[in-house]
Amino acid sequence: MAEVGIDGIEIRTGKLKLDLAETFAPAQGDDPEKFTKGLGLYTSSFPDVYEDIVTMAANASHRLLDRKDLSLEDIGRIDVATESAFDKSKPVSTYVAGCLEQVFEDDLHHANKGERKFACVAGTQALDDAYNWIRAGRNQGRKALVIATDTALYERDDPGESTQGAGAVAMLIDENPDLVAFSDAQGYGSADETDFLKPNQQFPSVDGKRSMQVYLARMREAMEDFERNGGDTHPDNFALIPFHTPFPGMVRRAAALGFRHCIRGTEVEEEVADEIGHQPREESFDSHDEFLEAQKEYTETLTETEMYSQWYAQTIEPTLAISRYVGNWYTGSVHIARAAGLQEALEEGRDLTGRQLLVGSYGSGAQAEIHAETIQPGWEDELGQLNIDEQIENRRDISFDEYEQIHDVHNHAESIEMDPLTTPEGEFVFDGWGRMGERK
Ligand code: HMG
């Protein structure tokens, strides 16, 4: 049976930039290094007044189909993953399809459309749905369009405010893919949690510190489940490990725990043992708390070893290159991490064809999912087409006053008037309810 995976990818960032060190920190009375060093974030992407989850999704999808020289006939399924939906009945994919129908002057009536929801992990769930649909042979030769799109805004003065972001990732799922092929082995860690929720509200209610603990706990469970299901997590197996990245500091923590877990009982643990000793084993301690304390100390020492630094620099650091400048995109976040890692590898001339990625997705509420992907021979050409660096560079830097206004616009879209800060050119724009996605 043919491999199935991601054949093409396009990324669309919101057109405005909020500089966390220069603009946000002074206005909030915070030390800029809290954001740049503590969270690992420099700037965040914001949508202009004419941008929203539909326009960003449609603009990314349009470029993807155009670049791949596809017609709407080629697409049999459109799934949108989002936690910023504005319609409780009509899925966002129908709005996106409407945009694509305008520009391609054709219809998508034959395509199945849906919306996936499970916080940030929904983008990966939508990829799974597309994979299963193709593997089951129900696609009749057609491809799936999976889009992860969010305006990840928090209440003003919420601790999460500095991690905001906005953007869309469109992915084409097909047989014999150019970018990565999915493997069958998967692992899940899933539990009913209430650390981050949006029950009938625009902005999330978040217990930030707890959400970080839940992320790590579910990720560990998913890793163990992946191993039980036949996945081999030896750290040398993977060229890159893209994680869900709400902010790079979260991944820094997850990576340290992940590395400690994956080297356990391997020759890598033996190699580092000469320097820092073996990992603490629970049976050697009188209490669980003592064990946890020893484990924490071991992990800290482990991250200071040369072995860990080299592994982190190769497999984790490159995946954070985009996120540092765009913030959290919720459903799109792990997919920008994958693209960033591959883009950095391309720039460094690394030969990754046939190598594996270990992808760690996560959504609050809460569920982590781990799976492996194999990098395909066409990856360099495909990644070479991305223009996300140019988009990031061209964003309009906003003042704090503008930021306050634009935040209000996205909070009460109908009632607050504000002129756009950038000019749309040949793209879909939001032009008032009922005229969604009109192309200017
Ligand atoms: P906070 O209270 O603003 O920050 O909350 P802090 O005081 O904890 O500081 C953050 C880090 O900066 C710490 O580093 C500080 O030490 C350091 P750490 O100890 O963690 O290594 N720091 C400094 N470093 C250098 N110089 C300084 C300085 N000051 C402090 N001067 C928090 C941070 C993440 C809780 C907040 O931003 C938040 O609530 N964010 C939203 C929730 C979130 O992102 N959670 C992540 C896990 S859940 C998830 O990923 C799911 C999600 O994407 C949603 C979904 O799935 O749908 C959010």
Cβ neighbourhood burial of 304 (10 Å; 0-12, 13-18, 19+): exposed
6/172 Cα distance (integer angstroms): 6
CB atoms within 10 A of CB 325: 21
Indicate if ligand 1 lies below 6 Å from the C-beta of 210.
Answer: no
244 is catalytic: yes
DSSP 243: B
Residue with tokens 């984790």: 316
Strand-strand pairing, 180-190 and 396-397: unpaired
DSSP 294: H
From 31, 34, 334, the mutation candidate for ligand 1 (largest count of ligand atoms within 8 A of CB) is 34
Q: What is the pLDDT of residues 421-438, one digit of tens each?
A: 999 888 888 875 444 445
Cα–Cα distances in Å, from 358 out to 54, 104, 237, 255, 394? 30, 36, 9, 12, 32
Cβ neighbourhood burial of 408 (10 Å; 0-12, 13-18, 19+): middle
State both tokens at 297: 């100390």
| Band of residue 414 on the pLDDT scale cut at 50, 70, 90 | low
Q: Which string of b and e fits 340-363 if b means at least 16 CB within 10 Å? A: bbbbbbbeeebebeebbbbbbbbb
Per-residue model confidence (pLDDT) at position 1:
82
Catalytic residue chosen out of the listed positions 83, 344, 369, 380: 83
Q: Which atom of ligand 1 is nearest to the CA of 250?
A: 46
Give residue 39 CA to ligand 1 midpoint distance, Å: 6
Indicate if ligand 1 lies below 6 Å from the C-beta of 215.
Answer: yes
83 is catalytic: yes
Give residue 246 CA to ligand 1 midpoint distance, Å: 9
Q: What is the pLDDT of residues 205-245, one digit of tens each?
A: 999 999 999 999 999 999 999 999 999 999 999 999 999 99
Mean pLDDT of the region 398-422:
88
Mean pLDDT of the region 246-271:
95
286/339 Cα distance (integer angstroms): 46
From 33, 193, 211, the mutation candidate for ligand 1 (largest count of ligand atoms within 8 A of CB) is 211
* 412 pLDDT higher than 80: no
Cα–Cα distances in Å, from 90 out to 76, 94, 103, 220? 18, 7, 21, 36
Mapped onto helix, strand or coil, the DSSP state of residue 154 is coil
Give residue 93 CA to ligand 1 midpoint distance, Å: 32
Residue 239 region, left (φ>0) first, then alpha (ψ -120 to 50), else beta?
alpha
Per-residue model confidence (pLDDT) at position 432:
56
Per-residue model confidence (pLDDT) at position 434:
40
Instruction: Give all domains of the chain, ordered by start, each with its CATH number.
Output: 4-439 (3.40.47.10)
Indicate if ligand 1 lies below 6 Å from the C-beta of 34.
Answer: yes
219/157 Cα distance (integer angstroms): 28
Q: What is the pLDDT of residues 322-342, one digit of tens each?
A: 999 999 999 999 999 999 999
ipTM: 0.98
Which amino acid is present at 158? D
* 392 pLDDT higher than 70: yes
Pick from 179, 169, 212, 216: which is nearest to 345 by CA? 179
| Band of residue 439 on the pLDDT scale cut at 50, 70, 90 | very low
CB atoms within 10 A of CB 234: 11
Mean pLDDT of the region 400-405:
96
Give residue 171 CA to ligand 1 midpoint distance, Å: 29
Mean pLDDT of the region 276-281:
92
DSSP 281: -
Length of the chain in terms of residues written? 440
Q: Which atom of ligand 1 is nearest to the CA of 196?
A: 54
Give residue 254 CA to ligand 1 midpoint distance, Å: 13
Instruction: Give CA angle at 164 (159, 168), nearest 5°.
Output: 155
299/257 Cα distance (integer angstroms): 7
Indicate if ligand 1 lies below 6 Å from the C-beta of 159.
Answer: yes
Give residue 154 CA to ligand 1 midpoint distance, Å: 13
Residue nearest to atom 44 of ligand 1 (CA): 246
246/267 Cα distance (integer angstroms): 32
Residue nearest to atom 27 of ligand 1 (CA): 34
Answer whether 47's CB lies under 8 Å from 58's CB.
no
Give residue 208 CA to ligand 1 midpoint distance, Å: 7
Mean pLDDT of the region 66-75:
98
Q: Which atom of ligand 1 is nearest to the CA of 244?
A: 50
Instruction: Read off the pTM.
Output: 0.96
300/38 Cα distance (integer angstroms): 16
Indicate if ligand 1 lies below 6 Å from the C-beta of 163.
Answer: yes
Q: Which long-range contacts (CB under 8 A, 24 or more apart) does 409-415 make?
A: 409/49, 410/47, 410/52, 410/151, 410/153, 411/153, 411/202, 411/203, 413/52
Instruction: Give CA angle at 423 (422, 425), nearest 5°.
Output: 140
* 84 pLDDT higher than 70: yes
Pick from 254, 187, 264, 263: which is nearest to 223 by CA? 187
97/78 Cα distance (integer angstroms): 8
Residue nearest to atom 10 of ligand 1 (CA): 38
Q: Which string of b and e fits 46-57 if b means at least 16 CB within 10 Å? A: bbbbbbbbbbbb
Instruction: Give CA angle at 381 (378, 385), nearest 5°.
Output: 135
Q: How many CA atoms lie within 13 A of 438 on its CB side?
A: 8
